[in-house]
Amino acid sequence: MRIALIGATGFVGSRILSEAIERGHRVGAIVRNIDRLPRHPNIIPWQADVQDFGSIASAIAGHDAVISAYNPGHDLAANPHLYRDIVEGAIKIIAAARRNGIRLVYVGGAGSLHVRPDLMLADDPDFPSEYSKHSPPSLAHFTEAKKLGKDVPLGGRTAFLLFEHDRSFAWSFISPPLFMEPGHRTGKYRMGTDAFPLEGAIPAGIFAEDFAIAVMDETEDPRHLYGHFTVTR
């Protein structure tokens, strides 16, 4: 397949890029700084900015599918406009996919998963304090960032609402569990719904490398068109 990958050098995007290349796909790697991309004959560097609709629409044109691993960061001190950037980025990515008639697999956030039928995680008054008590050491910096403000999970929740009920283009929306850690590729994951996943009373997790497998499986064989789902270890 010819796959356009937005955010190919990020925490999730870099792992999706590796998984896609291992499977033999040709990847248009869309980033703001192409110097950070690894060199490989099946990686085609594309310099584009998600916030520039024209550049992102041009970058994804001609591909069989587009994966968005776009993430403007978690540091509110460095970027006080994170919520705006997440939402406006999602709007532009959706519009670019729709204009080009390309199926979109969108990596969202755990904030859009339902802790109960009428409540998403980002809107739960107990988040992040009660949920982060079991956070692994590798995610301590993300936990601290959420204590300063819920802009990122709220942005992720709003991004999903832009997709919900839209049938004007083909899409799948995959949210990681709350505890997605750097780790190693086990080759296994468990499929979930749009419900916030728990392991007993503790928020579930997954290695980012296995999350990338799930993203690529959905890209190759879409089983959640117009749907929202998660995966866990």
Per-residue confidence band for 75, with pLDDT thresholds at 50, 70 and 90: confident
Per-residue confidence band for 136, with pLDDT thresholds at 50, 70 and 90: confident
Per-residue confidence band for 147, with pLDDT thresholds at 50, 70 and 90: low
pLDDT at position 68 is 98
Q: Which residue has the tokens 């802009």?
A: 151
pLDDT at position 220 is 98
Q: What is the pLDDT of residues 191-212, one digit of tens each?
A: 999 999 999 989 999 999 999 9
Mean pLDDT computed over 52-59? 97
With pLDDT > 70 as the criterion, what percentage of the chain qualifies? 97
Q: How do strand 198-199 and strand 202-203 relate by DSSP bridges?
A: antiparallel
Q: Rounded distance, CA 103 to CA 219, Å?
A: 9
**Comparing C-alpha atoms, which of 198, 203, 197 is closest to residue 146?**
203
Per the structure, the count of domains in the chain is 1
39: Cβ–Cβ under 8 A, 6 or more apart, which residues? none
Per-residue confidence band for 164, with pLDDT thresholds at 50, 70 and 90: very high
229: Cβ–Cβ under 8 A, 6 or more apart, which residues? 172, 173, 174, 175, 191, 192, 193, 194
The domain that holds 140 is classified in CATH as 3.40.50.720
Structure tokens at 221: 């064989």
Above 70 in pLDDT, residue 143?
no
For residues 233 and 183, the answer to whether their CB atoms sit within 8 Å is no
Per-residue confidence band for 135, with pLDDT thresholds at 50, 70 and 90: confident
Mean pLDDT computed over 144-166? 88
Sign of the torsion angle spanned by Cα atoms 218, 215, 210, 193: negative
Q: Rounded distance, CA 137 to CA 161, Å?
A: 31
SS percent in the chain: helix, strand, coil, step 5: 40, 25, 40
**Comparing C-alpha atoms, which of 150, 218, 209 is closest to residue 180?**
209
The pTM of the full predicted model, rounded to 2 decimals, is 0.94
Which domain range does residue 65 map to?
2-232
Mean pLDDT of the chain: 94
Cβ neighbours, 10 Å, residue 223? 10
Per-residue confidence band for 146, with pLDDT thresholds at 50, 70 and 90: low
Q: How do strand 227-232 and strand 190-191 relate by DSSP bridges?
A: antiparallel
With pLDDT > 90 as the criterion, what percentage of the chain qualifies? 86
pLDDT at position 140 is 73
Mean pLDDT computed over 54-69? 98
Per-residue confidence band for 73, with pLDDT thresholds at 50, 70 and 90: confident
For residues 212 and 10, the answer to whether their CB atoms sit within 8 Å is no
